[in-house]
Structure 1
Amino acid sequence: MSEITVRRATAADSKRLTKLVRGSAAYRGPYAVIVDGYRVGGAYIEHHPVHVAVDADDRVLGFYALLLDEAELDLAFVADSAQGLGIGRLLMAHMTGEARAAGLDAVRVVAHPPAEEFYLRTGARRTGTVPAAGRIHWDRPELSYDLTDAAAAAA
C-alpha cells in the first residue's frame, strides 16, 4: 500500500465521505437504518474537526469526526477495501492527539456494537451502555479514551 496521510477534510470531501458511510459493510442488515440517507455535509465538515486518511492518489481510506464541544467521537469509518491495514488505528491515534491538543481530558464514544472491540484495542475503555432510542433499536456500548497524563503513563 502506498503512503498514507491524515489531513483535515474539506467541504469538497463531502460526497466521498458520504459514499464511504453509506457503503460500509458494517451497516448492512439490521444496522442499515443508521446510514440510510445519511450525508456528511460540507457545513458539518467545515464546522467540526473532520480528518481523512488518504493514499498518495488522494483515495479516501477512512475518516473521523471529533465534536470538541461535546468531547465526543461522532463518526469513524474505514473503507471496506482498507479494513485490516491499520487505518483505523492510525485515525484513532490522530484523533486522540488532536483531542489532547484541544485540551480535552477524555473523548466519549457511543459505538456501533460490532466496533466495540476495535475501540477497546485502540485504548478506549467501556464506561456504560446507551439504551436503544428512536431509529436505533439496540443498545450501544459507551466507551471513553482517557487522555490524561496519568492514563498516558499507565499505557
Structure 2
Amino acid sequence: MSEFTVRRAVAEDSKRLTRLVRSSRAYRGDYAAMVEGYQVGGAYIEHHPVFVAVDASDRVLGFYALLVDDAELDLAFVADGAQGLGIGRLLMEHMTGQAGAAGLKAVRVVAHPPAEEFYLRTGAVRTGTVAPTGHIHWERPELRYAIA
C-alpha cells in the first residue's frame, strides 16, 4: 500500500470529496436520498479532522471525517474504482490512530447498511441499530471501534 498516502484534507479538496460522496455506487436506488445535494464544505473540512487517501498524483481515492467532540466517525468513503485495494482499511487504521491521539476511548459509527461488513472486518463491533429519521427510511447499524 506504499503507493497510497493519507494526508489532512484542505478546504480546496471540498469539490473532490463532494463528488466522491455523490457518485458512490453504494448510494444508488433506495439510498440515493442520503447523498442527494450533499456537500462536504470547506468550513467542515477546516473544522473537523478530515483525512484523504491519495495516490502519487494526489488523486483522492477515499476519505474520512472524525467528529472528535462526539467521538464519532461522520463520513467514510472510498472511490468506487479504488475499492478492494486496502484503502478503506488504511483509512480506518489512520482514523483509530487519530482518535487515540485525541484521547478518545471509542469511536461510534452509524453505518450505511451495505458498509456494515466492512466496518466489522476492520475491527468495529456492532452495538445496536439506529431508527429511521428524516429522509432515511431504514434502520442503520450502530458500531463501535475500541481505541487502545
Shared fold (TM-score, shorter chain, > 0.5): yes
What's the secondary structure of 2:103's corresponding residue? coil
Give the unaligned 5+ runs of structure 2: none
Within 5 Å, which residues of 2 pair with 1:22-101?
Answer: 22-101=22-101
Structure 1 CA distance for aligned equivalents of residues 38 and 75 of structure 2: 12
Structure 2 CA distance for aligned equivalents of residues 122 and 9 of structure 1: 22
User: RMSD in angstroms over aligned alpha carbons?
Assistant: 1.0
Residue 102 of structure 2 corresponds to which residue in structure 1?
A: 102
Distance change (3 Å), C-alpha of 1:98 and 1:2: closer
Within 5 Å, which residues of 2 pair with 1:138-149?
Answer: 138-148=138-148
Residue 11 of structure 1 corresponds to which residue in structure 2?
A: 11
Structure 1 CA distance for aligned equivalents of residues 15 and 2 of structure 2: 23
Structure 1 CA distance for aligned equivalents of residues 14 and 133 of structure 2: 27
Structure 1 CA distance for aligned equivalents of residues 125 and 2 of structure 2: 32
Distance change (3 Å), C-alpha of 1:2 and 1:144: closer
Deviation at 1:3, TM superposition (A): 1.1
Deviation at 1:146, TM superposition (A): 0.6
Distance change (3 Å), C-alpha of 1:57 and 1:31: same
The count of aligned residue pairs is 148
* Amino acid aligned to 1:82: A
* Amino acid aligned to 1:144: R
Structure 1 CA distance for aligned equivalents of residues 130 and 7 of structure 2: 31
What's the secondary structure of 1:129's corresponding residue? strand
Give the unaligned 5+ runs of structure 1: 149-155
Give TM-score scaled by structure 1 length.
0.94
CA distances 1:111-141 after superposition (whole Å, capped 9, x unpaired): 0000000000000000010001110000000
Residue 123 of structure 1 corresponds to which residue in structure 2?
A: 123
Q: Share of identical aligned residues, percent? A: 80
Deviation at 1:47, TM superposition (A): 0.0
The list of structure 1 runs, each at least 4 consecutive aligned residues, that deviate by more than 3 angstroms after superposition, is none
